[in-house]
Amino acid sequence: MQAIVRACTAEGWPARVAAVIANRPEADGLGFAQENGIATAVVPSRGKTREAFDAELATEIDRHQPDLVVLAGFMRILTPEFTERYAGRLINIHPSLLPAFPGLQTHARALEAGCKVVGATVHFVTAELDHGPYVLQAVVPVRAGDTPETLAERILPLEHIIYPRAVRWFVEDRLIVADGRVTVTPAADGTPDPQWLFGDDA
């Protein structure tokens, strides 16, 4: 979230971050948002059904009338009703090269499977967990002796590049989704943008 806020300001996107909403009052991002003049809200999830929480969350989101809803460190499974409500304007980042390893413990599972490369994927959110049209992916090689922790450490800087980039493409109206695939139209100067990022000598 912080990387997206900073990129929006530094790169002069035709957009603003309207609000940061969390389900935990101790979430670090709330303080950062307040320091940067961004509205914040907490919608507690504890003790509520998934449906009740999602309905409250949607009410709070809609108060800000966003064009795009960005999930950043939001580790909850959303109901089909919620994902349908924001279809085509709800995105997430997942720490694997989807469709491989949806869900949790992605790096450990990649190591167990003997993968030669791992990475992260920015994707539109659908009712199916960690699926939906892929916007952008980043790749790093798996080295001898890697652990889930070392892979996460090497992938995170790339996540901070590809997630803001994908959000910028959305706000610049450069993403076309058709038949479950995402195409990025060229920039105003005609320069095409690749939909992948290779890091760490991948």
| 36 among annotated binding-site residues | no
* Integer Cα distance of 96 and 113 in angstroms: 13
Query: 50: annotated binding-site residue?
Result: yes
1 marked as binding residue? no
Written in H, E and C, the secondary structure of the chain is CHHHHHHHHHCCCCCCCCEEEECCCCCHHHHHHHHCCCEEEECCCCCCCHHHHHHHHHHHHHHCCCCCEECCCCCCCCCHHHHHHCCCCEEEEECCCCCCCCCCCHHHHHHHHCCCEEEEEEEECCCCCCCCCEEEEEEEECCCCCCHHHHHHHHHHHHHHHHHHHHHHHHCCCEEEECCEEEECCCCCCCCCCCEEECCCC
Compute the Cα dihedral for 120, 124, 125, 130 and give only its sign. Answer: negative
Is 94 tagged catalytic?
Answer: yes
The answer on whether 77 is annotated among ligand-binding residues is yes
Q: Is cis: bond before 99, omega within 30 of 0?
A: yes
Among the listed residues 94, 107, 123, 160, the single catalytic one is 94
Structure tokens at 193: 């943008």
Residues flagged as binding site for (6R)-10-formyltetrahydrofolate: 50, 75-78, 92
Active centre residues (catalytic): 94
Residues flagged as binding site: 50, 75-78, 92
